[in-house]
Structure 1
Amino acid sequence: MAGMTQLVFSPALDRPDLLAAPVAELLGTWPHAGEVQVAEIDPGHADTAAMTEAYGLPLTDSANCVVVSGRRAGEERLAACLVRADTRADVNNLVKRTLDVRKASFHPMERAVEETGMEYGGITPLGLPEGWRLLVDERVLGIARAIVGSGVRRSKLFLPGARLADLPGAEVVPGLAHPS
């Protein structure tokens, strides 16, 4: 791939400058934080497809975190859905049923950014707001070195996919995603 750039990996705890505040806060107390590495990237390559191409990484090693919301009896219900990058969250069926809402849709970007304290394009399952559900597609757990956001567009986190099931509030949901 022309112009492929080499990534430099560091223990995430050693580079808080490359993490959103809520991510750094979680890593400061998470027992598996020592297994998390961070690499600085060009913020213009924060989108998964651009990042995997620019750095020569397999798309199947990346996991995307999308925030979904819906209402039931006047109560808003939210979940972050973590799915492998070559799949799409089943928002209209499984996510809707899991949240027990009449209609589920992607949470408005401005609200997702404000409520998570993370940048658009960098929202990650690490450091989500207290009380948010985290739905994890089982395929993500099989990634040896999963690539997820760091809360900011200028870096990515790398960690064993199986550890994502150990995040606060994580619920492994078989079939959460379908191939793209």
Structure 2
Amino acid sequence: MWGLKTEPVQERPDLVAAPVAAALDGWGPAERVLAAPIDPDLADTENCAAAYGIPLGASANCVVIRAKRAGEVRMAACMVSATTRADVNGTARRHLGARKASFAAQDDVVASTGMAYGGITPIGLPQGWAVLVDEAVLQAGHVVVGSGLRSSKLVLPGADLAELPGAEVISGLGVRTD
């Protein structure tokens, strides 16, 4: 697909981080997930899209946020199209009922997910984390997302992201950047 050399992820567990492999085991839509090796220096969305001929609208970014209310911290992943940015302080914060929301610290995200920064994916996140999926991502057809590693990407139907544990579909989570 595009310039990626994809294979069924079930045949290439070496292309995903351990928490991702564990989450795929027994997840119904896993049979539709493809994995593709990439150059880890090209893992960032824009570089990957340019190098492998992936339209930005077919890439979805996983942005991890930290929402706080009355001293209680809640972590959430926001899945938005690469052509948008996550509305962290508006839509996401209100949806989570938080007083304050911000991007989670990189070191905290890496430590708590067991995934590499630049490869964070909503598949295999810690139990209890919300997965907020922008409605537009579901309508994008196949999307390219992280694999938990910088050296590969996953390709799956965007609509399957709504089937992840903790997933909630939200309209307007992604705000156009142009």
Instruction: Give the TM-score range, shorter chain.
Output: over 0.9
Aligned equivalent of 1:7 = 4
Q: Is 1:31 matched with 2:28?
A: yes
Unaligned runs of 5+ in 2: none
Amino acid at match of 2:69: R
Amino acid at match of 1:81: C
Distance (whole Å) between structure 1 residues aligned to residue 75 and residue 13 of structure 2: 27
Q: Aligned Cα RMSD in Å?
A: 1.1
How far residue 6 of structure 1 moved from its aligned partner, in angstroms, is 4.1
Amino acid at match of 1:60: G
Moved over 3 A (4+): none
Q: Is 1:173 matched with 2:170?
A: yes
- Please, what TM-score do these two structures have when normalized by structure 2? 0.96
Q: Which residue, 9, 12, 16 being the options, matches 2:13?
A: 16
- Please, what TM-score do these two structures have when normalized by structure 1? 0.95
Residues 67-108 of structure 1 show CA distances to partners (whole Å, capped at 9, x for unaligned) of 001211111011100000000111111111112122110000
Given that 2:3 and 2:54 are in contact with CA atoms closer than 8 Å, whether structure 1 keeps it comes out as no
Aligned equivalent of 1:162 = 159
Alignment of 1:141-152 (within 5 A): 141-152=138-149
Distance (whole Å) between structure 2 residues aligned to residue 7 and residue 172 of structure 1: 28
Question: Secondary structure of 1:32's partner?
Answer: helix
Unaligned runs of 5+ in 1: none
Aligned-pair identity in percent equals 56
Distance (whole Å) between structure 2 residues aligned to residue 168 and residue 14 of structure 1: 23
Amino acid at match of 2:105: P
Distance (whole Å) between structure 2 residues aligned to residue 146 and residue 179 of structure 1: 17
